[in-house]
Structure 1
Amino acid sequence: MTEPEESAELSGGPNQQPSRWRRVAAAVGRAAQAPFNGAGLLYRIGQENLHFTLPVLNGAFGDQLAARHDRRAIQMSFRRHEADIAVADLRLGPAPEGRGRKTVVFLHGLMGDEIIWQTGAGPEDVRFGPRLQQELGANCLYVRYNSGLHISENGRRLHQLLTELVQTSPAAVGELVLIGHSMGGLVIRSAGYYAAQEHSVAAASSAALEPGLATGPASKWLPYLHDVFLLGVPNDGSFLEQNSHLTALILRKINIWPTRAISGLIDKRSNGIKDLRFARLTDEDWQNEHADDLFPPRTVVPPLPGVRYHVLVGSLMKTVDSALHDYFGDGLVGAGSARGRIFRDPAAPPDLRITTRVYPRLHHGTLLSNPEVYQYIREQLAE
């Protein structure tokens, strides 16, 4: 090879392909930049889908974020236009005739957010919130919360939020309706438990001071509550979390380095997820020294008297009279758990009004956009 030819191979002429060395150098440069480009792409995707990634992060590790006062920890709030909104800024108004409007409050499940009630996965999916507001003229409100916190912590916060709602807009809130999906239903039940406790304490104090006038605090939200809809709610716990807990327990018992490491990773899951094992609704349940036992003590949280409960259960099966239906249910929540022993108690007081409906061939997420489920909710609220 002559010297000019060798020079041409190294530098490449104007009409030639880049030399072998230049191609190698370019490939090395692209490989070196790949991690940075990939990280940038992931960051852009994360920012564009923050309404999805942030709730997932909170569901998995939200308790740890909150403990560190991390700015990514979600604070319970009503939401409007994909942003937190103060109760005073909701500016709810009464119906034209001056009566309070039916007010519907939606709560999402683990790792979810308010968007699930407003948009569907496809064009044919029913959007429960906007349609109820349009067809019934109801005030539809959406709550976002950190699903990684203990259920009882979110229950207390929901109790406070609903109290603030009825105190701020007493003329605008007529019948109060709560609709919860999955963990959201447990948060609703926990909030009712703490509201009832507070109501009982206030009534007892009032009776001690003024016998015969123990009516309780009229400003609280319980007197407004008319309906509770529980969609795919693990009222008796989640079989997935029960299996996770049992797996971690067995690995710890084996007690060698690999099993300890794996069980340690499993135990990093959030308090909210751990509470799903047996649907722990009160502080006492997770604070109990036997909380991690295979069969821990659990506080009974009964339905609230005078409130209509609608227990809506999904099932992957065509038939609903099998053991598989009871255990697997909608794929994430067993049908037996969704029906809930507390809602099937034959010795329940006669003033409890509980309706249970099972929807075959519906998985956990489809309950949120199914036309039959929506039609049932609409018919009950239109009465």
Structure 2
Amino acid sequence: MLRRTLTTLVRTALLPVRGAAMLYKAGRAHQHFFLPVLNGALGDQLAASGDARTIQLSFRRGGHDVPVAELGLSQPHQKTVVFVHGLMGDELIWQTGFQDTPGGPLRYGPRLAAEAGCRPLYVRYNTGLHISENGRALSQLLTELVETYPSAVGELVLVGHSMGGLVIRSASYYGNEQVAVTSEPPAAHPKRKGKPRPAAPSSPLAETAPWLAHLRTVFLVGVPHDGSYLEQNGQLVERLLRRINLFPTRFLSQAIARRSNGIKDLGQALLVDEDWQQPDDPALPHPRTVVPLQPGVRYHVLVGAWLRASLPQAVREYFGDGLVGAASGRGQLFSDEAALPPGTSVRTARFGQQHHGGLLHHPEVYQYLRQWI
């Protein structure tokens, strides 16, 4: 009896030590999350100040940036899948995760490589920058990829989670951006309005980015195509605190206003430079350029449903997957079949009882990717 009591006391006394050791071990194993979170929150300010902690958009391998020339792609005409993470994420969310155990099941990238024979490539980028800045940089990176390995890259498949899907759509816009032969100053911006505006018409004196000729399929996983209700609520709180105009509320509104440009862009899913370059008028919403879908591309829109089906539909629609509302996740543009470009198709899949982060490691989501990739 005494021995059992002493053993229990010793084990109880060691619990805090064991807990601290587990926390330390988990922190060491997942310290790679620190920089992505910091960049997501303040990445635009880090970049503006030249801070060494600023993440540069790049392909990643083994926890390091890899120049395109050093990827060493050799197998000819292999289907290449490029994964693009979301806000405050990194490339490891496609390979492993915080709750994964050593030797546990692989995530989407390694499994697709093993079971579908495709070539996975992972991009990491500074999610605190404007979505359009990352979209332009991604288009340039993909151009460099297909120009460096013209015979190795076969079909190109893009998979984006959350903000990553918006960056992919922005990249297609800048891949299609027409570069006139003669340099002319840009036209003055139209007066700011609250309605979406169409993208600029194409010019015959230009060519599109070469990677678009390889693009066949795009998977958009938990993407706020029409904006994030969380950021919209954040903007509302900031404006209300500013209008109250007391010292505590001014302090709070100024602190909220320091959130990154990338987070602010999520409010209305701004994909084009001109949309955020307008003068900031809190009384008016940003204009939003309607970025068309890419001709001849198969789009798969994957949406999570977080709440139970027994709850009112209006509540389930509003909260969606917990971070992205259901309507925004489906995207108004994707539901208009009459407006689809030639050869473009859209397929929407809904995954019940699944939250925003869970879409990154859900067995049914993987099976969907495996079937359609």
Alignment TM-score, normalising by the size of structure 2: 0.83
Structure 2 match to 1:310 = 300
1:293–1:345 distance in 2 versus 1, CA, 3 Å: farther
Structure 1 match to 2:358 = 366
Alpha-carbon distance in 1 for matches of 2:170, 2:257: 24
1:340-379 map, 5 Å = 340-349=331-340, 351=342, 352-379=344-371
Partners of 2:228 and 2:267 within 8 A in 1: yes
Give CA deviations for 1:72-101 in whole Å, capped at 9, x if unaligned. Answer: 000000000010000011011224xxxx00
Alpha-carbon distance in 2 for matches of 1:235, 1:292: 22
1:219-258 map, 5 Å = 220-258=210-248
Alpha-carbon distance in 1 for matches of 2:282, 2:172: 25
Alpha-carbon distance in 1 for matches of 2:83, 2:65: 15
Alpha-carbon distance in 2 for matches of 1:172, 1:147: 29
Alignment TM-score, normalising by the size of structure 1: 0.80
Cα offset for 1:367? Answer: 0.4
Give CA deviations for 1:290-314 in whole Å, capped at 9, x if unaligned. Answer: 5644532111112111110000000
1:334 to 325, 331, 344: 325
1:142 has 2:133 as partner: no
1:81–1:260 distance in 2 versus 1, CA, 3 Å: same
Cα offset for 1:49? Answer: 3.8
Alpha-carbon distance in 2 for matches of 1:267, 1:159: 29
1:177 to 146, 157, 161: 157
Partners of 2:93 and 2:360 within 8 A in 1: yes
Alpha-carbon distance in 2 for matches of 1:293, 1:281: 21
Which of these two proteins has the greater Rg computed from alpha carbons? 1
Give CA deviations for 1:231-283 in whole Å, capped at 9, x if unaligned. Answer: 00000111100000000001101111111111000001000000000000000
Partners of 1:126 and 1:371 within 8 A in 2: no
Any idea what SS the aligned residue of 1:357 has? strand
Alpha-carbon distance in 2 for matches of 1:323, 1:105: 35
Alpha-carbon distance in 1 for matches of 2:279, 2:338: 31
Cα offset for 1:135? Answer: 1.0
Any idea what SS the aligned residue of 1:347 has? helix
Tell me the amino acid that sits aligned with residue 288 of structure 1.
Q
Any idea what SS the aligned residue of 1:221 has? helix
1:132–1:239 distance in 2 versus 1, CA, 3 Å: same
Q: How many residues align?
A: 327
Any idea what SS the aligned residue of 2:81 has? strand
Partners of 1:125 and 1:371 within 8 A in 2: no
1:86-165 map, 5 Å = 86-95=67-76, 100-120=77-97, 121-123=99-101, 126-165=106-145
Partners of 1:125 and 1:369 within 8 A in 2: no
1:69 has 2:61 as partner: no
Any idea what SS the aligned residue of 1:205 has? coil
Unaligned runs of 5+ in 1: 1-41, 207-215
Partners of 2:40 and 2:126 within 8 A in 1: yes
Q: What's the RMSD between the two structures over aligned residues?
A: 2.4
Any idea what SS the aligned residue of 1:71 has? coil
Tell me the amino acid that sits aligned with residue 130 of structure 1.
P
What fraction of aligned residue pairs are identical, expressed as a percent? 59
1:293–1:85 distance in 2 versus 1, CA, 3 Å: farther
Give CA deviations for 1:14-34 in whole Å, capped at 9, x if unaligned. Answer: xxxxxxxxxxxxxxxxxxxxx
